[in-house]
């Protein structure tokens, strides 16, 4: 019965990964259809956070679900911890970028007119 619960965790991670690709494609489409007069902003990588969260879940849960050896589970746990730490740093970087964009917008420096 425990394996059925583990498979649901793996599917949740896989769903997060799939939604991340959809979000990334939607973000690219949105950026391409904007008028060219708008200021081009750098990516914040927010669209890849669901991918990273999903990868952490899949890497951590899949070996246990498949009944892998203890060394494989240990290696997967280590990799999951590294991915989780990377995800935290990506989230912090994205938060800083969004905060900077909001401050720029509030101060009136985010318009195309102020650069010309």
pTM tops 0.75, yes or no = no
Report the C-alpha gap between 105 and 96 in whole angstroms: 14
Note the pLDDT tens digit of each residue in 28-70. Answer: 787 777 665 555 555 657 778 888 999 999 999 999 888 889 9
Q: Is the pLDDT of residue 1 over 50?
A: no
**Residue 40: its pLDDT value, please?**
58
Q: Is the pLDDT of residue 113 over 80?
A: no
Report the C-alpha gap between 27 and 100 in whole angstroms: 20
Neighbour-count burial of 91, counting CB atoms closer than 10 A to its CB (0-12 exposed, 13-18 middle, 19+ buried): middle
How many C-alpha atoms does 88 have within 13 Å on its Cβ side? Answer: 5
Across the chain, what does the average pLDDT equal? 81
Token pair 């904007």: residue: 34
SS3 109: coil
The two three-digit tokens of residue 23, written as one number: 């979000």
Please answer whether residues 110 and 39 qualify as being in contact, where contact means their C-beta atoms are separated by less than 8 angstroms.
yes
């Amino acid at each position: 019965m425990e394996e059925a619960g583990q498979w649901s965790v793996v599917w949740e991670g896989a769903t997060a990964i799939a939604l991340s690709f959809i979000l990334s494609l939607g973000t690219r489409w949105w950026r391409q259809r904007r008028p060219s007069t708008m200021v081009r902003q750098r990516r914040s990588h927010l669209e890849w956070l669901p991918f990273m969260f999903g990868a952490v879940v899949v890497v951590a849960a899949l070996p246990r679900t498949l009944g892998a050896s203890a060394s494989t589970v240990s290696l997967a746990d280590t990799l999951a911890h590294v991915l989780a730490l990377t995800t935290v740093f990506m989230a912090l970087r994205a938060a800083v970028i969004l905060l900077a964009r909001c401050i720029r917008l509030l101060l009136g420096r985010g318009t195309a007119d102020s650069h010309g």
